[in-house]
Amino acid sequence: MFVLEKIREYANTDRLALINREETLTYRELDEFSDAFAAYLLERFGDDRSPVVIYGHKETMILPCLYGSLKAGRAYVPIDITVPGDRVRQIIEDVEPEVFVDFYDLGIETDAEVLSPDRLGKILRGQSADGSENTDARPNSTGTFDIRKHWISGDSVAYILFTSGSTGKPKGVPITCANIENLYSQLLPWMEVSVDKGVILNQISYSFDVSVVSIYMGISKGMTLYTIDKAMLENMGELFEHLGRSDCCFWVSTPSFAEMCVPSAKFNEALMPGLEKFLFCGEILTHKLVDELFERFPKAKVINTYGPTEATVLVTAVEITDEMAKDELQIPIGYPLPEVTFRIVDAEGKPVASGEQGELLIISRNVGPGYFKRPDLTEKAFFVDEETGKRGYRTGDSCFEKNGLYYYCGRLDNQIKISGYRVEIEDIENNLVKCSNIARAAVIPVYEGEKIAYLAAFVLLQKPDGLGSLKRAIKIKEELKEFLPSYMIPRKILAVDSFPLNTNGKVDKKQLRQML
């Protein structure tokens, strides 16, 4: 696999692979530790290829476990500490792993062999359980253990990410080695920066697919991952201290993370003078955020992308121009990446005309094999394209195309019914940010029993307005009348200092609901 080859190549240098607070990990250490973990898996479990479940957050030794699993020919399943215990149990029951790496002593009962941090540390350093040296766990030192032949390749599954499912049970999305290598070749031109092997942001949770940009693309280019962890997100002073010292040249995140930084006047080119590119994915990129970034980071390029987990993170990209930023249309999600085919179809599966909305279908070698142990769901969402023979995926996303560019219009299944009308939540959110002094908005339906009683909106102001809650809500509602019919205007409008983010770096609407 390309990333493993590159790690071995950079192991001959003193280049840092990771900076995590006061800890560092060189490429040489990353190669040796991942070799040791792979050797442990192969010696302890032989040819078993069940996925390795890794429970943690941003611990330094997670990376050797990820790559060590791949070197042993296994997939890995990352689970962030923010995932509730019940869901962790459900994932473990679904995966049935032989090995469960637990960085937080979660205490979940499982048939898997549980590796605590202390035991894992001994394995990675080639020691036996009693701490004595164990050279058998160091395949490169003896020459008798050819670990290279076990490396993952081709259509073997590299990782499985679990997303929320409509039934309330987490849904596994496997992605193969070939899927990732295809993305790597497509995304490489967008990763170019002037600094040789510079620093890339490592803020996204490993259990969220956008992290693939850092841990596969960034590492393959010999870059240094600079870690931003959960504790930093909860302390803006600490966060900005680390951003300032990061020397980051490539920023990758959801728009929400950047919007969390924008309210501070410190978030500008002076804080991160070497920053050359912003790459966003996972959420709608707004005009207001683009305008702020253009003003504060005039030398940095802003790249918007789009892609579902099922199609290996990203399938589009576009550099946002001044013309796009000033256009009345929403910010485009981009052009399809090379060898990616898009089709937009109506409810009957027939192609729509240019400019018309419909469901986006993706046909590409980026499309994964389906859902883990769910042939019923796989059959509904995945297909083989008759024209190209490639795999396809029905996204459930409403999009339209204009002049070759694609625009996202929301989820087809993100509709609610209020006062007898069908309403798109994202339609209301998009119009709220058109109001003066609103940088970001999130709307949630409030239920009484099984019926939606009203809509509540949370807004992030661009700057303090000096108004009380009631006067501010009245003012915003008056402005909204220019864009929305009365039944779509939220009854409650509350200002927040920042939006809570979930483990995927998106706005956590469950936490917002608790604020009502």
For residue 295, being part of any structural domain is answered with no
For residue 296, being part of any structural domain is answered with no
Residues 371 and 403 in one domain: yes
**425/484 Cα distance (integer angstroms):** 12
- Average pLDDT estimate for 415-427: 73
**310/301 Cα distance (integer angstroms):** 27
- The secondary structure of residue 97, as a DSSP letter, is -
Q: Retrieve residue 277's tokens.
A: 């590119």
pLDDT tens digits for range 95-144: 999 999 999 988 888 899 999 999 999 999 876 544 455 544 455 433 44
Residues 22 and 76 in one domain: yes
Choose one of 411, 446, 472: the last residue of a domain: 411
Please name the residues in contact with 508: beta carbons below 8 A apart, sequence gap of 6 or more: 499, 500, 501, 502
Assign residue 25 a region: left if phi > 0, alpha if psi is -120 to 50, beta otherwise?
Answer: beta
pLDDT tens digits for range 42-64: 999 988 889 999 999 999 999 99
Residues 452 and 396 in one domain: no
For residue 445, being part of any structural domain is answered with yes
- Name the band, by pLDDT with cuts 50, 70 and 90, for residue 346: very high
Domain hosting residue 477, numbered range: 415-514
For residue 13, being part of any structural domain is answered with yes
Q: Comparing 123-137, 403-417, 468-482, which segment has the lowest mean pLDDT?
A: 123-137
For residue 140, being part of any structural domain is answered with yes
Residues 402 and 454 in one domain: no
**329/488 Cα distance (integer angstroms):** 20
- Name the band, by pLDDT with cuts 50, 70 and 90, for residue 443: very high
Please name the residues in contact with 114: beta carbons below 8 A apart, sequence gap of 6 or more: 100, 102
Please name the residues in contact with 334: beta carbons below 8 A apart, sequence gap of 6 or more: 304, 305, 306, 316, 317, 318, 405, 406
User: DSSP for 190-253?
Assistant: GG--SSTT-EEEE-S-TTSGGGHIIIIIIHHTTPEEEE--HHHHT-HHHHHHHHHHS-EEEEEE
Residue 165: what pLDDT?
58
Q: Which of 214, 243, 216 is nearest to 228 (CA)?
A: 243
417 residue type, one letter: K
Residue 425: what pLDDT?
85
Let me know: does 227 contact 63? Beta carbons within 8 Å: no
Q: Rounded to the nearest 5°, which phi and psi values hold at 384?
A: -105, 125
Q: What is the CATH number of the domain that holds 325?
A: 2.30.38.10
In Å, how far are 296, 324, 482 from 268, measured between CA atoms? 5, 22, 33
Q: What is the CATH number of the domain that holds 99?
A: 3.40.50.12780
With 90 as the cut, is the pLDDT of residue 192 above it?
Answer: yes
Mean pLDDT rounded to a whole number for the chain: 91
Count H helices and E strands in the chain, helices first.
18, 25
- In the chain, the number of structural domains is 3
Residues 112 and 73 in one domain: yes
Let me know: does 486 contact 428? Beta carbons within 8 Å: no
For residue 46, being part of any structural domain is answered with yes
Rg (CA), the chain: 23
Beta bridge partners of residue 495, listed in sequence order:
459
**79/71 Cα distance (integer angstroms):** 20
Beta bridge partners of residue 100, listed in sequence order:
53, 114
Residues 383 and 495 in one domain: no
For residue 306, being part of any structural domain is answered with no
Q: What percent of the chain has pLDDT over 90?
A: 74
User: Which three-class secondary structure state does DSSP give residue 340?
Assistant: coil
Q: Comparing 47-61, 426-440, 466-480, which segment has the lowest mean pLDDT?
A: 426-440
- Name the band, by pLDDT with cuts 50, 70 and 90, for residue 450: low
Residue 143: what pLDDT?
44
For residue 327, being part of any structural domain is answered with yes
Residues 194 and 279 in one domain: yes
Q: What is the CATH number of the domain that holds 456?
A: 3.30.300.30
Residues 185 and 107 in one domain: yes
pLDDT tens digits for range 149-172: 999 999 999 999 988 654 557 789
Strands 438-448 and 451-461: antiparallel
Q: Rounded to the nearest 5°, which phi and psi values hold at 285?
A: -90, 120
Q: Retrieve residue 82's tokens.
A: 């923010």
Residues 70 and 180 in one domain: yes
Choose one of 355, 390, 411: the last residue of a domain: 411
Please name the residues in contact with 352: beta carbons below 8 A apart, sequence gap of 6 or more: 344, 345, 346, 358, 400
- Name the band, by pLDDT with cuts 50, 70 and 90, for residue 145: low
Residues 373 and 396 in one domain: yes
Residue 361: what pLDDT?
98
**489/432 Cα distance (integer angstroms):** 9
89 residue type, one letter: R
Residues 224 and 322 in one domain: no
Q: Comparing 15-24, 284-293, 356-365, 367-376, which segment has the lowest mean pLDDT?
A: 284-293
- Cβ contacts of 297-303, under 8 Å, gap ≥ 24: 297/268, 297/269, 297/272, 298/269, 299/269, 299/275, 300/251, 300/269, 300/275, 300/276, 301/276, 301/277, 302/277, 302/278, 303/190, 303/277, 303/278, 303/279
Choose one of 372, 391, 411: the last residue of a domain: 411
Write out the H or E segment, with its range, that includes residue 53.
Answer: strand 52-56
Residues 374 and 470 in one domain: no
